[in-house]
Amino acid sequence: MAHISARRVYYFLIMKILMVITLGDLGGAQRHVLDTSAELAARGYEVTVAIGGTQMALESALYEANSTIAVVRIPHLIRDISFVSEIRALVELYRLVRKLKPDVVHCHSSKAGVIASIAGKIAGAHVVYTAHGFVFRENISLKKQWFYRCVEWFASIFRDRVIAVSDSDREAAIKAWIVQPKKIITIHNGIALQSTDAFLSRSNARAEMSRWAGANLSDAHLAVAIANLYPPKNIPLLIRSFEFVVRRDPKARLLIIGDGEERAKCEALIQAVPILAKTVFMAGQRAGAVSHIKGADVICLSSTKEGLPYVLLEAKLAGVPIVATRVGGVAEIGEGPGMQLVVSHSPELLAEKISEILLNPPHLMPGLPEEFTLNHMVNSIESLYLSIV
């Protein structure tokens, strides 16, 4: 034990970590990188974060969280598939790893997870990949599923360990033969319990939400979705479900907080149905949206694919009821009266559960189990690092 403790102290002081992620917006994977990087830096690790694309939100948030974290842009690491860009990104990452000589290259998101795994291992680093939900589990064609399974299998050859953020993803990866069971472990996403202090009061949050919506929501039965508007989030399903909700509960309103490629599609759906045009509101991207979560009567998630959604952890911590689709690790957060789960393709079932909570709100105790805390998550990641270096 003394030897292990001495080794831990040694690496605690000098270990270098290179985080790599494809996009610089602020979705779930980016939240994971932000929180983990800030906590590791606070514990004495030397942390660099390599970010693809041109979005600046994550870079700004990292600087605000801990100014010792270095940020490097990888210009050719982009979300869209482009063979030329991917080769260039591979070279850029290889050169970065050779320059920084990190002890661990920790990859996040699908594209970075493949390219950085290969570059990191070839450059001589230990490689860890966190899967924030596997692409082959999305609602895609069988041909595409097999393609992404083959890509993940190939990339796993270059990885020392794979972290699944849910048991559901870990089991799916093993069943799909993309990674050996001994290589993959589950480490649930976690949030800081101190974040309860950051929640606005219900009245203040509701007043701000009314301003975002451009409508008075003070007396509404308010359902809220906080999500990037990408296809896996399936926000159009939630919008369609709300026509059924309003028929049961005329005071029901839906506020969608977020932005992305499906915004125009969502707006068109809303405007095509008169009752939705009066009851569904698009707030766009809002900084600090989760601090307003107590203004919601129910938090809604309609995704077709998830790892372990941060917004549901925040809702649990705040004591706000949840209606979500049964995908990925959602059920592992804890199903019950205050967290209703439905299949991911039925607007009617989604509407039924939302209506039940809006009309008969459950009394919930705020809080989270230890396994969903930031401290537990980072302790587990740190132990994994120490097991491979």
What total number of domains does the chain contain?
A: 2
Together in a domain, 378 and 322 = no
What pTM, to 2 d.p., does this model score? 0.90
Residues 358 and 383 in one domain: no
Q: Is residue 163 a contact partner of residue 131, using CB atoms and an 8 Å limit?
A: yes
Instruction: Clarify whether residues 331 and 215 are in a common domain.
Output: yes
In this structure, are 230 and 151 located in the same domain?
no
Q: What are the residue ranges of helices labelled H in 249-372?
A: 263-272, 274-279, 310-318, 347-359
Count of alpha carbons within 13 Å of 307, Cβ hemisphere only? 26
DSSP annotation of 15: -
Element (H, E) at 49: strand 46-52
DSSP string, 167-224: HHHHHHHHHTTSS-GGGEEE----B-GGGGGGPPPHHHHHHHHHHHHTS--TTSEEEE
Q: How far apart are the first and last CA of the chain?
A: 17
Whole domain around residue 298: which residue ranges? 193-368
Supply φ then ψ for residue 186, to 5 degrees: -100, 125
Within this chain, do residues 295 and 347 fall inside the same structural domain, yes or no? yes
pLDDT in tens, the chain (389 residues): 444 454 555 555 579 999 999 998 888 899 999 999 999 999 999 999 999 988 888 999 999 999 999 999 999 998 887 888 999 999 999 999 999 999 999 999 989 999 999 999 999 999 999 999 898 888 788 999 999 999 999 999 999 999 999 999 999 999 999 999 999 999 999 999 876 678 999 999 999 999 999 999 999 999 999 999 999 999 999 999 999 999 999 999 999 999 999 999 999 999 999 999 999 999 999 988 999 999 999 999 999 999 999 999 999 999 999 999 999 999 999 888 899 999 888 899 999 999 999 999 998 888 899 999 999 999 999 999 999 99
Kindly give the interhelix angle for 374-388 and 2-14, rounded to the nearest 10 degrees.
Answer: 100
Residue-level pLDDT at 367: 87
Whole-angstrom distance, CA of residue 266 vs CA of residue 247: 20
For residue 246, the domain's CATH number is 3.40.50.2000
Domain check: are 229 and 204 in the same one? yes
Q: Are residues 145 and 166 in the same domain?
A: yes
Residues 333 and 383 in one domain: no
Same domain, 214 and 233: yes
CA dist 51 and 27 (Å) reads: 13
> Are 57 and 197 in a shared domain?
no
Q: In this structure, are 186 and 291 located in the same domain?
A: no
CA–CA distances in Å: residue 224 to residues 206, 207, 295, 321: 11, 14, 9, 11
Residues 137 and 30 in one domain: yes
Q: In 3-state terms, what secondary structure has residue 272?
A: helix
Q: Quick one: pLDDT at residue 70?
A: 96
